[in-house]
Structure 1
Amino acid sequence: MNIELITILDEIEKEKGIPKEVILDAVETSLVSAYKKNFPQDREAVEIDINKENGTVQVLTKKIVVEKVANPSTEIDLEQARLLKSDKVELGEEISLEITPEEFGRIAAQTAKQVIVQKIREAERKAVYERYIDKVRDIVTGVVQRQEYYNYIIDLGKAEAILPPNEQVSSESYRKGSRAKFYVVEVKKTSKGPRIVLSRTHPDLLKRLFELEIPEIHEGLVEIKQIAREAGKRSKIAVTSRDDMVDSIGSCIGDRGARIKSIMTELQEEKIDIIKWNEDDKIFIANALNPAKVLFVQLFEKEKKALVVVNDQQLSLSIGKEGQNARLAAKLTGWKIDIKSESQYKQENNIDKNVDLSKMS
Structure 2
Amino acid sequence: MDLNEIPRRIVRDEEETPLLESVTITGDTIVGEELSIAELQPEASDIQYQWQKFYSGNGAAWTDIAGANSSTLVLTESEVLYSIRLIVSEPESPSNSVISNELGPVLTISSVAFTEGNSLQNVEITIFEDSERTQQIGDTLTTDSTGEVSIDLVEGTYWYSASIVGYYDSVGSFIVSSSDSLIEFTMNLTTEPIFYEDFEGTFITIPDNWTNLVLSGTGWIKGSESNESFVYHIYSLDYHDAWLITPKIDLPNVDEINLSFRQSGSYSSWYEYHGIWISTTDTDRDSFVEILELGSAPNYSWEEKTIDISSYKGESVYIAFVYQGEYADRWNIDDVEIK
Structure 1-normalised TM-score? 0.26
Q: Identify the structure with bigger relative contact order (alpha carbons < 8 Å, sequence gap 6+).
A: 2
Structure 2-normalised TM-score? 0.27
Going by fraction, where is helix more abundant, 1 or 2? 1
